[in-house]
Structure 1
Amino acid sequence: MSQATFRAALAELGTQIAGRPLDADLDAWLNLHHGADSETYRQLAAEIHTGVAEGWLCNREGGGLRYGRIFKSADDLARCSVDVVDMDNVVGPHHRHPHGEIDLIVPIDPDARFDGRGAGWLVYGPGSAHRPTVSGGRAQVLYLLPEGAIEFTGL
């Protein structure tokens, strides 16, 4: 696996979500069609694990987090940037999503939860904000940010 195969898998997903509102319907659709029991989820999770192990994902560290932006927003990625964070029982920095955020949650430990959710997808709508929180162990989380937009609030 490589950055190229990872991007190709995300681009395939991007064609399916491009132009869709970031809302509860998209959350449900992603979990139904690309949820934790799907081939898409298994492929992305495997590539995330490999990328973190090889160091081309989560190549920065700070505040108890390993993180990194792997791709800037681009047309083939539904105008989303791609970040991956490796978190272990930690609360991250408060931030706002001007255009929303789509998260793929990949628990490393079986009881790990990201913002209360286990394996699968979590969609935050435009203007939403949170302190990303992993409890119950370690998880890796992929963030798709429309136009790469994120605002750290310092709260």
Structure 2
Amino acid sequence: MSPQEFQRLLQGVTAGVTAQLDGRPLDASLADWLNATWPVGSATYDELADACRVGVTEGWLCNREHGGIRYGRVIKPTPDTHGFSVDVVDMQDIAGPHHVHPHGEIDLIMPLTDGATFDGHPAGWCAYGPGSAHRPTVAHGQALVLYLLPQGAIEFTRDASVA
């Protein structure tokens, strides 16, 4: 799979996902809805996870690295993705830099190690509301995390020690 094929596949799948997210509030109930709509083992989950694993294995996805975290923005926010950007990170037993989600964040967690978690969440979806903040943390192994940011908005704090 080439980066262009991956982007076309991801745009097709995420456009379907983001079309259904468009206008929904980013709150605690959204993660429940996502996990019921596209659960681990569903065709959509498997297609996204497989494509991400292939891209990382081939070396063109998550081809940037900082502080032990591999990452990359795959799709900028566009009308085709209903204003969501798509990023993928590859993390192993590490906490990333503290940041704020001005408009929220939606994460698809794809463990590469059985039992790996992202911010305490197992494989599947989690969501953070507007104005939320965290130090993204993968524990108990390695995981890929695909995240959707409304309008591509993320604000990294200057003090990385903030928890």
Question: What TM-score range do you get, normalising by the shorter chain?
Answer: over 0.9
1:15 deviation in Å?
A: 1.1
TM normalised by structure 2 equals 0.92
Alignment match of 1:130 (pick from 105, 120, 134): 134
Give deviations 1:20-44, integer Å, cap 9, x for gaps: 1111121110000111121110111
Give deviations 1:18-74, integer Å, cap 9, x for gaps: 111111121110000111121110111001111112233201011010000011101
RMSD over aligned Cα atoms: 0.9
Matches within 5 A, 1:62-141: 62-141=66-145
Say how many residue pairs are matched: 155
Give deviations 1:67-91, integer Å, cap 9, x for gaps: 0001110111121111100000000
- Gapped runs of 5+ residues in structure 2? none
The answer to whether the 8 Å contact 1:19/1:78 transfers is no
**Alpha-carbon distance between aligned partners in 2 of 1:28 and 1:45, rounded to the nearest angstrom:** 19
- Gapped runs of 5+ residues in structure 1? none
Q: Are residues 1:59 and 2:63 paired? A: yes
**Alpha-carbon distance between aligned partners in 2 of 1:114 and 1:88, rounded to the nearest angstrom:** 10
Give deviations 1:78-126, integer Å, cap 9, x for gaps: 2111110000000000000000000000000011000001100000000
**Alpha-carbon distance between aligned partners in 2 of 1:128 and 1:5, rounded to the nearest angstrom:** 30
AA of the residue aligned to 1:129? A
Partner of 1:19: 23
**Alpha-carbon distance between aligned partners in 1 of 2:61 and 2:11, rounded to the nearest angstrom:** 12
The answer to whether the 8 Å contact 1:93/1:154 transfers is no
Q: Are residues 1:41 and 2:56 paired? A: no
Alignment match of 1:147 (pick from 144, 147, 151): 151
**Alpha-carbon distance between aligned partners in 1 of 2:75 and 2:122, rounded to the nearest angstrom:** 25
**Alpha-carbon distance between aligned partners in 2 of 1:48 and 1:55, rounded to the nearest angstrom:** 11
Larger deviation: 54-63 or 105-114?
54-63
4+ long deviations beyond 6 Å: none
Percentage of pairs with the same residue: 58
